[in-house]
């Protein structure tokens, strides 16, 4: 998540010391705020315009925990996209936080050029989709619905950033795919709450209480969310060869997260490390894109 201004960090730091309950409530509400939608980059506009579009009606999983009633999102329309020959093997793409499907523009071109069909979606509160919140449960539900519409397992699933976590857990829970490519990924949802505490200025002593406040505020019916969304404990099936790609200078998701993921999947994965690309430029790098295609084309184990 973006680093908040110094004034905001000072507010959270002070409030966390003098009025912890208020700090936790404000922090939980802020944590779930997605922010401004990322527009289509000019470099990705042609790919975005070439997509076949299909709307998908989705019931948001976000709930306000104070009164237990459905959150403001309700049923939202999710924008889904596809490229390539409709009869070709499918590859599913899952984008990250404050991103959108078109961020995979160069990757989409490569995959279609390799004779594959690409399917992607804008998550709730992102891109052209409706809603104001996004949870990992939303990604799981959408991935399942798109997967159920397929006649065969995905030739591959490719995730970036937060999308790695949702896609990886979907594979753990039974979504079928022949390969998994994870770019700039996260190990668990707990990493996101820890990152918020560090970045916001909340006292570290409130770390556990903040994680509980986030769950109760947005997902009061899912007390198991931290155990469920943990790719170190709930790994991708060993039958799915996995490629972890990460830049060693990533300031959003540190490189060591993919190192940990690779170690947790040691018998079925490999790690490819880049330098100087950061968190987002890695998606367009020629060497990275070549490595993705090589992974998809590698002989089955």
186 neighbors 164 (Cβ within 8 angstroms): yes
Question: What number is the average pLDDT over the span 26-39?
Answer: 94
> Does residue 139 share a domain with residue 195?
no
* Nearest Cα to Cα of residue 210 among 189, 233, 181, 237: 189
Of the residues 197, 223, 249, the one at which a domain ends: 223
Whether residue 38 lies inside any domain: the answer is no
The rounded distance, in Å, linking the Cα atoms of 185 and 72 is: 29
What three-state secondary structure class fits 270?
strand
In this structure, are 115 and 247 located in the same domain? yes
Report if residue 251 sits inside a domain.
Answer: yes
Same domain, 204 and 291: no
Domains held by the chain: number: 2
- Write down which residue in 223, 248, 279 finishes a domain: 223
Residues 6+ apart with CB under 8 A from 196: 1, 27, 30, 31, 202, 210
Interval 183-216: pLDDT, tens: 999 999 999 999 999 999 999 999 999 999 999 9
Indicate whether 155 belongs to any domain: yes
Residue 36 belongs to some domain of the structure: no
178 with 196, same domain?
no
| Cα-Cα-Cα-Cα dihedral sign, residues 26, 128, 292, 174 | positive
Say if residue 23 is in the same domain as residue 89: no
Q: Which helix (H) or strand (E) holds 53?
A: strand 52-59
Q: Let me know whether 263 and 135 are in one domain.
A: yes
pLDDT in tens, 50-75: 999 999 999 999 987 655 454 556 89
Q: What is the CATH number of the domain that holds 236?
A: 3.40.50.1820
Beta bridge partners of 159: 94, 182
What is the longest distance spanned by two Cα atoms in the chain?
A: 61
In a domain, 162, yes or no: yes
Asked whether the whole model's pTM tops 0.85, one would answer yes
Contacts of 26 (CB under 8 A, 6+ apart): 12, 15
Q: Are residues 88 and 201 in the same domain?
A: no
- Across the range 222-233, mean pLDDT stands at 96
Q: 207-218 and 189-200 are packed helices; what angle lies between their axes, rounded to 10 degrees?
A: 120
223, 245, 269 - which closes a domain:
223
The CA–CA distances, whole Å, from 114 to 158, 280, 285 equal 15, 23, 17
* Domain coverage including residue 10: 1-31+189-223
Q: Is 274 helix (H, G, I), strand (E, B) or coil?
A: strand
Does 37 reside within a domain?
A: no
Mean pLDDT (the chain) is 94
Looking at the fold, whether 207 and 265 belong to one and the same domain comes out as no
Collapsed DSSP state (helix, strand, coil) of residue 158: strand
Three-state DSSP state, 192: helix
Q: How confident is the model at residue 298 (pLDDT cuts 50, 70, 90)?
A: confident
């Amino acid at each position: 998540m973006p680093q908040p201004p110094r004034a905001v960090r000072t507010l959270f730091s002070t409030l966390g010391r003098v009025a912890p309950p208020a700090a936790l409530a404000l922090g939980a509400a802020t944590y779930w705020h997605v922010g401004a939608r990322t527009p289509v980059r000019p470099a990705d506009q042609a790919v975005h315009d070439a997509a076949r579009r299909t709307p998908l009606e989705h019931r948001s999983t976000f709930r306000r925990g104070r009164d237990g009633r459905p959150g403001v999102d309700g049923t939202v329309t999710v924008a889904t996209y596809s490229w390539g020959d409709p009869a070709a093997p499918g590859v599913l793409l899952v984008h990250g936080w404050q991103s959108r499907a078109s961020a995979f523009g160069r990757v989409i071109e490569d995959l279609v050029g390799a004779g594959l069909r690409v399917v992607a979606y804008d998550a709730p509160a992102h891109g052209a989709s409706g809603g104001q919140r996004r949870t990992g449960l939303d990604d799981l539900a959408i991935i399942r619905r798109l997967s159920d519409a397929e006649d065969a397992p995905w030739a591959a699933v490719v995730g970036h950033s937060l999308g790695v976590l949702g896609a990886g857990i979907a594979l753990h829970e039974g979504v079928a795919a022949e390969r998994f490519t994870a770019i700039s990924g996260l190990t668990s949802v707990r990493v996101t709450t820890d990152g918020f505490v560090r970045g916001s200025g909340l006292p570290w002593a409130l770390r556990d209480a903040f994680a509980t406040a986030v769950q109760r505020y947005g997902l009061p019916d899912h007390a198991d969310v931290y155990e469920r969304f943990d790719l170190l404990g709930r790994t991708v099936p060993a039958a799915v060869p996995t490629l972890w790609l990460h830049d060693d200078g990533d300031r959003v998701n540190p490189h060591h997260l993919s190192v940990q993921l690779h170690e947790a999947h040691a018998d079925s994965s490999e790690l490819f490390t880049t330098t100087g690309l950061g968190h987002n430029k890695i998606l367009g790098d020629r060497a990275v894109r070549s490595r993705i295609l090589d992974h998809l084309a590698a002989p089955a184990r």
